[in-house]
Amino acid sequence: MHQTQSISVIGTGNVAHSLVPALLDAGYSIELVYSKNPEHAQHFARKFNLRPATKITDLKSQIIIIAISDSALEQVIKTLPKNENQILVHTAGSQPIELIGQYHMHAGVLYPLQTFSAQRRVDFKNVPVCIEANSEFVAKQLTGIANHISEMVLQVNSEERLQIHTAAVFVCNFTNLMYTFGKDIMERYNLPFDILRPLIKETADKALSNDPETVQTGPAIRNDQVTLAKHTNQLNDDLAQKYIQLSEWIKKRYG
Amino acid sequence: MHQTQSISVIGTGNVAHSLVPALLDAGYSIELVYSKNPEHAQHFARKFNLRPATKITDLKSQIIIIAISDSALEQVIKTLPKNENQILVHTAGSQPIELIGQYHMHAGVLYPLQTFSAQRRVDFKNVPVCIEANSEFVAKQLTGIANHISEMVLQVNSEERLQIHTAAVFVCNFTNLMYTFGKDIMERYNLPFDILRPLIKETADKALSNDPETVQTGPAIRNDQVTLAKHTNQLNDDLAQKYIQLSEWIKKRYG
């Protein structure tokens, strides 16, 4: 497979670490990679057999994908020279397309709905990719790329993308917080966290094939006051308060 | 494989639905199955090719496993005739072994640390089984059974079992609540919950091979006030309040 669009990437973080190999696997060639930290760019370029850009103004590719932190985005977009032949794309869930569109003619968003870590390679085929474009021309280019790297591509507008990102915080960040609280309890009593892992897996697996609302279990949804009291009695004040709050939310949500 | 102990089961709910086939697969024969609702016993017996007991006093097996709701447990234990040749075993996370030991000579607990649904068959080999016994004799019997059905068997006392159950509520029940809130947000904006599922899976997968404390991500741990405000601004008051509370917990826990 050989794709004809030329792409450069700004950013060498967790998103770039998963997106770049997905693009390479799909037959795209990455012209240059840029990071404000030249060592990061060199290291990343070596890792994926690419060329690092020395200056951000060296990026002349048809498509520039900017995969950097939200707070740094606008400054980088402003710095890039205006170029009517170039499409600028960001990858952020909570940033509107207008962040680019206000400075550049061709603006797009390619938001991969997944949690990325540099040390874990994610199979991009199964990552839902939310795209947005400020013209039919950009939409066609982005749809082509997205369909080559993922089997689940959606067109959503900036508002919807923000809503999706908010829901993602609940099922990812807040869920991981619950895992950590479980670990805290186990560690406090010198019990192995390992034995909770099959439960973590099955709880997720259930939600993969069911509506989570219909598979809720536990003492709170049964309003089992005796068990609720037993549980909170042996937690420290801080975790007991959280247990009570979360149980109240369950009673109210499913009540 | 042919196991010599005779076992009967009281209860036909989610635990029995996973435990009974695991026992049968391991070569145990189930003598009788009892439920206070005779139709449930008949239905369950037909399903697994067993015999239903008409009266609870008909249960004469060497081992009786009582897999019923916590609130019904003590009444059933009191009803069972005293029998010095019989071992009574419950499967509850938050009930002490003494609930049986105060009435019967041979008491045991076999607590499978997993979330069970009648409609989902769980592979018991991967279910951690926590056992407790009130004598060496019972310990030997229960260890034998547990090792035949699971590859992860632990001896824990009643207090530890309660602690494990409390941690399980966080990683299972409270986690599923987070999934439901994610669904609520998606439904409110007519977005498909489906696209969150790869994220649910990857978030769990990360916790299966990492310490969840070290893989926490999201705007709260970065203390990204701009994104936090964007997210809460488009939630209704109820979910915004929850989002703020959970984010505060993240800042405090990882701060």
Q: What is the pLDDT of residues A106-127, one digit of tens each?
A: 999 999 999 998 778 889 999 9
> Average model confidence (pLDDT) for chain A?
96
Asked whether A59 and A53 are in contact (CB, 8 A), the reply is yes
Asked whether A86 and A31 are in contact (CB, 8 A), the reply is no
What does residue B116 show for φ and ψ, rounded to 5 degrees?
-110, 140
Q: What is the mean pLDDT of residues B151-169?
A: 98
Q: What is the mean pLDDT of residues B227-255?
A: 97
* Amino acid letter, residue A175: T
Name the residue among A235, A244, A180 with its Cα closest to residue B166. A235
Map tokens 């310990």 to a residue.
Answer: B139
Q: Record the tokens describing residue B110, joined without a space.
A: 């076999």
pLDDT for position B173: 98
Contact A202 B122 (CB under 8 A): yes
Q: What is the mean pLDDT of residues A190-201?
A: 98
Chain A segment 68-107 residues within 8 A of B by beta carbon are 70-71, 94
Judge whether residue A69 has pLDDT over 90. yes
Q: How far apart are CA B203 and CA A120, in angstroms?
A: 12
Q: How large is the ipTM? A: 0.96
Distance from CA of A153 to the nearest CA of B (A): 10
Distance from CA of A118 to the nearest CA of B (A): 11
More confident residue, A2 or B157: B157
pLDDT for position A121: 84
Q: What is the mean pLDDT of residues B194-213?
A: 97
Asked whether A113 and B195 are in contact (CB, 8 A), the reply is yes
Q: How far apart are CA B23 and CA B67, in angstroms?
A: 13
pLDDT for position B118: 73
Say which of B113, B180, B230 has its CB closest to residue A94: B230
Contact A164 B122 (CB under 8 A): no
Say which of A163, A224, A245 has its CB closest to residue B191: A163
Asked whether A219 and A228 are in contact (CB, 8 A), the reply is yes
Q: What is the mean pLDDT of residues B237-246?
A: 98
Judge whether residue A3 has pLDDT over 80. no
Give the tens place of pLDDT for each residue, A70-90.
999 999 999 999 999 999 999
Distance from CA of B59 to the nearest CA of A (A): 29
Tally the C-alpha atoms within 13 A of residue A187's C-alpha that lie toward its C-beta.
9
pLDDT for position B5: 85
User: How many other C-beta atoms can be found within 10 angstroms of the C-beta atom of residue B217?
Assistant: 17
Contact B175 A200 (CB under 8 A): yes
pLDDT for position A2: 62
Q: What is the mean pLDDT of residues A194-207?
A: 98
Q: Which residues pair with B107 in a beta bridge?
A: B88
**Which residues make Cβ contacts (< 8 Å) with residue A130, sequence separation at least 6?**
A93, A109, A110, A111, A112, A113, A154, A155, A156, A160, A161, A164, B195
Q: Record the tokens describing residue A89, joined without a space.
A: 């794309």
Name the residue among A143, A2, A141 with its Cα closest to residue A62. A141
Predicted TM-score of the model (pTM) = 0.96
Q: Record the tokens describing residue B82, joined without a space.
A: 């005293």
Judge whether residue B115 has pLDDT over 70. yes
Name the residue among B218, B223, B231 with its Cα closest to residue A94. B231
Asked whether A200 and B204 are in contact (CB, 8 A), the reply is yes
Q: What is the mean pLDDT of residues A221-232?
A: 96
Asked whether B40 and B63 are in contact (CB, 8 A), the reply is no
Chain A segment 125-144 residues within 8 A of B by beta carbon are 126-128, 130
What does residue B174 show for φ and ψ, rounded to 5 degrees?
-75, -35
Distance from CA of A180 to the nearest CA of B (A): 6
pLDDT for position B3: 74
Judge whether residue B217 has pLDDT over 70. yes
- For A99, the 3-state DSSP assignment is helix
Contact A115 B203 (CB under 8 A): yes
What does residue B132 show for φ and ψ, rounded to 5 degrees?
-145, 145
Q: How far apart are CA B189 and CA A27, in angstroms?
A: 36
* B218 contact A CB<8A: yes
Residues of B within 8 A of A243 (CB-CB) are 166, 169-170
Residues of B within 8 A of A214 (CB-CB) are none
Asked whether B152 and B126 are in contact (CB, 8 A), the reply is yes
Contact B207 A170 (CB under 8 A): no
Say which of A188, A208, A245 has its CB closest to residue B200: A208
